């Protein structure tokens, strides 16, 4: 039997834990396959997609900065990818078409939104920080839960305005005004790269927060960002991006292999340990 080949494209990519997780599941479910890191330049996207078409690759994940950039090279985008115009999972369907899907929405729902469902969720005011590749998935998942007051703030205003073009129900808060608007928020979601290991961090103090605030950090490396640590000290409920990472991988795996791999404490522990 031929070994199936999968991978993740992006740049930079060396810190991705996707290979570790997918390869662990391949082993667990006795699938003869390998998942690797594929660091590419934008001009190489087309060639990679060809490899899916000709069977050299069975599927790929897509990460920063290519979640939108891959779309012109695909035959169709479906489901949550269509709603968000953000693709993180690609495969060839039975009709020989290259299909783009999105599993970040599911990852965010499973790791966060679905856990909050009995807290009068639709009345919450949510501030999404950042307007990069993952923001459309977050906004779409929040909207599906009937949350109507969704605010976005981004250092570069123009990118927040781009998001608003697609999701007209969102409201923009200028980055310099965050500190003054923060007291009205029930949930803050960090969808920027601030807090990433060896990267820059927030200069904001988030002084005037509401004591019932919930803070979600999309970042999973480190598992506890500086912001999470600071909020925990203030008795604020926090969530790390680790589970979102695991659940988006679960759905990608399931789309490719028709097996839904189990997400349990052991898996979470293994992934968390690899971050150290
Ligand atoms: P991309 O922007 O290529 O999609 P991303 O990692 O998905 O990359 O998004 C990075 C996000 O983090 C962006 O919202 C970015 O803000 P800009 O649009 O202004 O670049 C945000 N970000 C990164 N570094 C930041 C910093 N030092 N301060 C504030 N926001 C920052």
Give me 87's structure tokens. Answer: 């693709």
Reported as a single tens digit per residue, the pLDDT across 72-87 is 999 999 999 999 999 9
Q: 180 pLDDT exceeds 80?
A: yes
Instruction: Identify which has the larger pLDDT, 116 or 177.
Output: 177
Question: According to the model, what pLDDT value does residue 276 have?
Answer: 76
How many angstroms separate the alpha carbon of residue 131 from the centre of ligand 1? Answer: 7
Give me 171's structure tokens. Answer: 């409201």
Q: Concatenate the DSSP letters of all residues of 39-104 into one string.
A: E--GGGHHHHHHHHHTTS-SEEEE-TT-TTTTGGGSSEE-HHHHHHT---EEEE-TTS-EEEE--H
Q: What is the rounded CA–CA span in Å between residue 257 and residue 208?
A: 47
Reported as a single tens digit per residue, the pLDDT across 16-40 is 999 999 999 999 999 999 999 999 9
- The CB of 180 under 6 Å from ligand 1? The reply is no
- The CB of 65 under 6 Å from ligand 1? The reply is yes
Q: Concatenate the DSSP letters of all residues of 193-223 into one string.
A: STT-TTS-------TT--TT-EEEE---SSS
Q: Which of 217, 225, 246, 16 shows the shortest CA–CA distance to 110?
A: 246
Q: Cα–chain-centroid distance for residue 168?
A: 21
pLDDT band at 147 (very low <50, low <70, confident <90, very high): very high
Maximum Cα interatomic distance, the chain, rounded to a whole number of Å = 61
Ligand 1 atom closest to the CA of 155, numbered from 1: 19
pLDDT band at 15 (very low <50, low <70, confident <90, very high): confident
CA distances from 58 to 107, 155, 271 (A): 22, 38, 24
Q: 118 pLDDT exceeds 90?
A: no
Reported as a single tens digit per residue, the pLDDT across 89-99 is 999 999 999 99
Question: According to the model, what pLDDT value does residue 47 have?
Answer: 98
Q: Which of 90, 63, 27 shows the shortest CA–CA distance to 244?
A: 63
67 is catalytic: yes
- The CB of 133 under 6 Å from ligand 1? The reply is yes
Q: 207 pLDDT exceeds 80?
A: yes
- The CB of 213 under 6 Å from ligand 1? The reply is no
How many angstroms separate the alpha carbon of residue 37 from the centre of ligand 1? Answer: 23
| CA-closest residue to ligand 1 atom 4 | 132
Q: Cα–chain-centroid distance for residue 196?
A: 14
Q: Which of 275, 240, 238, 255 shows the shortest CA–CA distance to 108?
A: 240
Q: Which of 268, 273, 229, 252 shows the shortest CA–CA distance to 22?
A: 252
Q: What is the rounded CA–CA span in Å between residue 236 and residue 244?
A: 20
Q: Considering 67, 94, 165, 181, which one is annotated as catalytic?
A: 67
């Amino acid at each position: 039997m031929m070994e199936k080949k999968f991978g993740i494209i992006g740049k930079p990519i060396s810190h991705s834990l996707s290979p570790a997780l997918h390869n662990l599941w391949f082993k667990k479910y006795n699938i003869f396959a390998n998942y690797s890191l594929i660091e590419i330049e934008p001009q190489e996207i087309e060639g990679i997609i060809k490899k899916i078409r000709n069977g050299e690759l069975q599927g790929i994940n897509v990460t920063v900065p290519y979640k939108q950039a891959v779309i012109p090279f695909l035959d169709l985008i479906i489901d949550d990818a269509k709603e968000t115009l953000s693709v993180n999972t690609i495969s060839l369907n039975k009709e020989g078409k290259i299909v783009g899907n999105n599993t970040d929405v599911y990852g965010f729902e499973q790791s966060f939104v679905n856990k909050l469902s009995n807290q009068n969720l639709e009345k919450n005011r949510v501030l999404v920080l950042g307007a990069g590749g993952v923001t459309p998935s977050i906004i779409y998942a929040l909207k599906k839960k009937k949350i109507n007051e969704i605010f976005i703030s981004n250092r570069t205003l123009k990118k927040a305005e781009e998001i608003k073009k697609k999701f007209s129900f969102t409201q923009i808060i200028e980055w310099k005004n965050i500190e003054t608007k923060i007291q009205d928020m029930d949930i803050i979601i960090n969808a920027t790269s601030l807090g990433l290991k060896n990267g820059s961090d927030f200069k904001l103090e988030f002084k005037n927060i509401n004591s019932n605030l919930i803070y979600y950090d999309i970042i999973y490396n480190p598992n506890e960002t500086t912001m999470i640590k600071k909020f925990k000290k203030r008795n604020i409920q926090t969530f790390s991006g680790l589970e979102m990472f695991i659940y988006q991988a679960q759905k990608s795996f399931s789309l490719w292999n028709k097996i839904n791999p189990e997400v349990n404490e052991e898996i979470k522990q293994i992934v968390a340990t690899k971050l150290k």
